[in-house]
Amino acid sequence: MTADTPVSFGFDDAALAALPLVYQPGLFDGQVVMVSGAGSGIGKAIAFLYARLGARLVICGRDRAKLDACEAWLRRLGSPDVLVQPTDIRRSEAVAQLFDAAYQRFGRVDVQVNNAGGQFPKAALDISPKGWKAVVDNNLNGTWFMMHEAAKRWRDAGKPGSIVNIVLTFQRGFPGVAHSCAARAAVTYLSKTVAVEWAPYGIRVNCVAPGVIESSGFAHYAPEARAKFSRGNPMLRHGNVQDIANAVVYLTGPSGDFVNGELLNVDGGGILWGELWTIPKPAYFNAGQTP
Ligand X SMILES: NC(=O)C1=CN([C@@H]2O[C@H](COP(=O)(O)OP(=O)(O)OC[C@H]3O[C@@H](n4cnc5c(N)ncnc54)[C@H](OP(=O)(O)O)[C@@H]3O)[C@@H](O)[C@H]2O)C=CC1
Note the Cα 269 to chain centre separation in Å.
Answer: 19
Minimum distance between the CB of residue 180 and ligand X, rounded to whole angstroms?
A: 7
215 binds ligand X (CB under 6 A): yes
What gap in Å lies between CA 172 and CA 181, rounded to an integer? Answer: 10
Minimum distance between the CB of residue 239 and ligand X, rounded to whole angstroms?
A: 8
175 binds ligand X (CB under 6 A): no
Q: What is the DSSP letter of 2?
A: -
HEC letters along 149-174:
HHHHHHHHHCCCEEEEEECCCCCCCC
Using DSSP bridges, classify how beta strands 32-36 and 56-60 pair: parallel, antiparallel or unpaired. parallel
Q: Please say which residue, 72 or 227, places its beta carbon nearer to ligand TC6.
A: 227
Q: Which residue in 230, 232, 238, 152 sits closest to 197, CA to CA?
A: 152
Q: Please say which residue, 54 or 232, places its beta carbon nearer to ligand X.
A: 232
Quick one: what does residue 270 bind among ligand X, ligand TC6, none, with the CB cut-off 5 to 8 Å set by partner type?
none
CB half-sphere exposure, 32, CA atoms < 13 A? 21
Name residues contacting ligand X, limited to 31-60 (CB under 6 A): 36-37, 39-43
195 binds ligand X (CB under 6 A): no
63 binds ligand X (CB under 6 A): yes
Q: Which residue in 215, 212, 226 sits closest to 279, CA to CA?
A: 226
Quick one: what does residue 286 bind among ligand X, ligand TC6, none, with the CB cut-off 5 to 8 Å set by partner type?
none
Minimum distance between the CB of residue 291 and ligand X, rounded to whole angstroms?
A: 29
* Contact set with ligand TC6 (CB under 6 A): 118-120, 122, 128, 130-131, 134-135, 138, 168, 212, 217, 220, 229, 278
Q: Cβ(202)–Cβ(160) under 8 Å?
A: yes
Quick one: what does residue 278 bind among ligand TC6, ligand X, none, with the CB cut-off 5 to 8 Å set by partner type?
ligand TC6
Q: How far is CA 173 from CA 114, 264, 273, 278, in A?
A: 22, 17, 13, 12
Among 213, 251, 264, 276, binds ligand X (CB under 6 A): 213
Q: Cβ(143)–Cβ(244) under 8 Å?
A: no
Q: Please say which residue, 44 or 122, places its beta carbon nearer to ligand TC6.
A: 122
Q: Please say which residue, 41 or 253, places its beta carbon nearer to ligand TC6.
A: 41
Measure the CA angle with vertex 164, ends 20 and 275; round to 5°: 80
Among 62, 105, 155, 228, binds ligand X (CB under 6 A): 62
Contact residues toward ligand X (CB under 6 A) are: 36-37, 39-43, 61-63, 66, 87-90, 115-118, 138, 142, 166, 168, 210, 212-213, 215-217
